[in-house]
A and B are shown apart, each in its own frame.
Chain A
């Protein structure tokens, strides 16, 4: 069966510091992968998605970037965090019937 991992689970970072969040998927090959952000009490905002190694589509202009160095690895990065980057970051993968399954998420607080 497929499993999706995210780490860390929680993170507190000062404004201006860098960020690296990692997501890995097990049990499937060449999945479509997604990064979402969810602000407190709000819906899901799609940040990036990837349909293959090195292929990244950005949905929202911002100071974040994503990379997919391996088939089942998806990384979200920032060089300098802003207060507005605080939120719940979710990684997901999509099945052939368009169902998306989420990792446990990373709660980021920028102070």
Chain B
């Protein structure tokens, strides 16, 4: 059973600090990795995609991928109250038609 694991949280971070979200996956063959943000009552929104080892930066967001250790992380710099949401990690499955989803980490940014 292929799995994606995330700490459910809540993770509480002071405003302006760096929020660090982690995700581990079980399938060594996975090639595509995604972070989604989901506000309460809304649908998930794609915020980062990463396909190769290392770091990928987009504004205040940095995704980090380590295939050898099978983990992917998301760093949010200068955290804002508007970043408070549930963050979902997703990884491609063998078939390439599906993504395997983590259960999400709830992030709370304290003003």
Contact = CB atoms under 8 A, between A and B. Distances in A.
A100 B46 contact: yes
B101 A99 contact: no
B45 A43 contact: no
B43 A105 contact: yes
A104 interface: yes
B32 A97 contact: yes
Interface string A81-105: 0000000001000100111111111
Given A102-B44, A103-B43, A49 B98 contact: yes
Interface residues of B, number: 21
A11 interface: no
Interface in A16-71: 32, 42-44, 46, 49, 51, 57
Nearest to A101: B46
A103 B42 CA distance: 10
Contacts, number: 44
B99 interface: yes
B82 interface: no
Contacts of B107: none
A97 B51 CA distance: 9
A49 B95 CA distance: 12
Nearest to A105: B43
A51 B43 contact: no
B14 to A, nearest CB: 25
Interface of A: 32, 42-44, 46, 49, 51, 57, 90, 94, 97-105, 107
21 contacts: A42-B103, A43-B88, A43-B101, A43-B102, A43-B104, A44-B44, A57-B97, A97-B32, A97-B51, A98-B32, A99-B34, A99-B46, A99-B49, A100-B46, A101-B46, A102-B43, A102-B44, A103-B43, A104-B42, A104-B43, A107-B41
Interface of B: 32, 34, 41-46, 49, 51, 88, 90, 92, 96-99, 101-104
